[in-house]
Amino acid sequence: MITAVELGLIYAIMALGVYVTFRILDFPDLTVDGSFTSGAAVAAIGIVNGMPALVATILAFFVGALAGVVTGLLHTKGKINGLLAGILTMIALYSINLRIMGKANVPLLGEDTLISPLRQAHLTGGIVSVLIFFAVALALKFVLDWFLHTDVGLAMQATGDNEEMIRSFGVNTDNQKILGLALSNGLVALCGAMIAQYQGFADVGMGIGLILIGLASVIIGQAIFGTRSIFMATLAVIIGAVLYRVFIQLALNAGLDPNDMKLISAILVVIALVLPQWKGFSRFGRRMRTITAAAEKQKETV
C-alpha cells in the first residue's frame, strides 16, 4: 500500500499537468499519452548515455513542453479541433519515442537515477520516501499556484473562463493556450521521467491510457475537496492522484487481474462523470455546494 501512495504522489505531477489543460484552459488535451512516454524516453536515454539524472529529468520537461507547443500550434494556427490536435501529436509521438529509445524498452538497472540513492538506502516503500515524494509534489503545486496568480497566470485562467472577455483586454488567447499546453505537457513528461526512474525502465507503451489516470485523479480529488480556490484545487488533484492509486491497489488486492486495470480506470472515470448527474447524488452535491457557498459568504463578510 505504501508503494501505491508513492506511485500516486509521483503521478500527481502528471495530474497537475492535466489539471492545467482540462480545468484551467478548459481544453481536452490527449497529447499526454505521448508526452509522458517522451519524458520517460528522454530521461532514460540521457541517463544511459551518462547524463546526470537531474539534467536528463529537466530535459524531459522541455521535450514534453515542446510536444505541448505542437498541439497548441495545430489547434490555434492550424484551426484543428482540440481533441484531434492532441490525438495527432500523441500518435506522431509514438514513432518519435521509438526513435528516441531505439527500441521498445530501455532498462535503467544499475544506472545512477534520481531514485537510486533512495533505493540504495532502502528508503523506498517507507515513510521517508513518501515524505520526499510528497514534498516534491507539493513544491510543484506551490510553483503552479504561484504561476497561476501572476499576471500571465491570471490571463491563462481567464482564457479558459471567458475567452472573448480576456481578448477584449488585449490578451492573445492563442498564445495563452500554447503556453498552457506547454506547461501541462512539460509536467506530464517530467512525471514520465520520474516514473521511468522509479520503475527502472522506459517502455514505449507506458503512456497508453494515461489521460484516464490524470482525469480520474482530477475528478476524484475535486469531487471530494471541491475547487473553491486554486490552492485547494491543486491540493485536491494531488490527493486525487494518491486515492486513485490506492483504489487500484485495493482492486488488485481483491484479486483483480492487472491486465484489467485500464478497464477499471475507464469505469472509474465514467462513474465519476455520471454519478453527479443522478438525482440522489446531485441532491447531496447541491447540499454540499450550498454549505460551501454559505461558508464562503461568511468568509467574505468577515
Partner 1 sequence: MLEVNNLSKTFFAGTVNERKALRNIDLTLSEGEFVTVIGSNGAGKSTVLNMVGGKLRPDAGTVRIAGKDVTKLADHSRARYIGRVFQDPMAGTAPSMTIEENMSLALNRGKRRGLGLGVTKAKREQFAHELASLELGLENRLKAKVGLLSGGQRQALSLLMATFSGPKILLLDEHTAALDPQRAALVARLTDEIVNRHRLTTLMVTHNMEQALKLGTRLVMMHDGEIILDLDAEAKSKMTVPGLLKEFEKIKGAQLDDRTMLQ
> How many beta carbons lie within 10 A of that of residue 286, not counting itself?
10
Judged by CB under 8 A, the residue of 150, 253, 290, 292 near partner 1 is 150
Listed in sequence order, the residues at least 6 apart from 292 whose beta carbon sits closer than 8 Å to its beta carbon are 226, 228
Residue 169 engages partner 1 in binding (rule: CB under 8 A): yes
Question: Would you say 103 or 151 has its CB closer to partner 1?
Answer: 151
Listed in sequence order, the residues at least 6 apart from 91 whose beta carbon sits closer than 8 Å to its beta carbon are 34
Residue 20 engages partner 1 in binding (rule: CB under 8 A): no
Query: How far is it, in rounded angstroms, from Cα 190 to Cα 57?
Result: 6
Maximum CA extent, the chain: 61
Which residue from 27, 124, 12, 149 is spatially nearest to 82, judged by alpha carbons? 27
Question: Which residue reads 547524463 in cell numbers?
Answer: 51
Distance between terminal CA atoms of the chain?
Answer: 43
Of 12-20, 88-96, 136-144, 294-302, the window that binds partner 1 (rule: CB under 8 A) is 294-302
Interactions with partner 1, residue window 119-148 (CB under 8 A): 147
Judged by CB under 8 A, the residue of 158, 188, 211, 215 near partner 1 is 158
Residue 94 engages partner 1 in binding (rule: CB under 8 A): no
Residue 294 engages partner 1 in binding (rule: CB under 8 A): no
Closest contact distance (angstroms) between CB of 173 and partner 1 is 7
Query: How far is it, in rounded angstroms, from Cα 302 to Cα 298?
Result: 6
Residue 171 engages partner 1 in binding (rule: CB under 8 A): yes
CB 118, CB 132: distance < 8 Å: yes
Residue 149 engages partner 1 in binding (rule: CB under 8 A): yes
Residue 172 engages partner 1 in binding (rule: CB under 8 A): yes
Judged by CB under 8 A, the residue of 121, 154, 250, 295 near partner 1 is 154
Judged by CB under 8 A, the residue of 4, 144, 155, 248 near partner 1 is 155
How many residues sit in the footprint of partner 1 (CB under 8 A)?
27
Residue 2 engages partner 1 in binding (rule: CB under 8 A): no
Give the three cell numbers for residue 76: 490555434
Of 33-41, 42-50, 129-137, 154-162, the window that binds partner 1 (rule: CB under 8 A) is 154-162
Residue 299 engages partner 1 in binding (rule: CB under 8 A): yes
Query: How far is it, in rounded angstroms, from Cα 108 to Cα 105?
Result: 10
Burial class (CB in 10 A: 0-12, 13-18, 19+), 96: middle
Residue 237 engages partner 1 in binding (rule: CB under 8 A): no
Residue 153 engages partner 1 in binding (rule: CB under 8 A): yes
Q: Residues interacting with partner 1, by CB under 8 A?
A: 147, 149-155, 157-158, 161-162, 164-173, 293, 296, 299-301
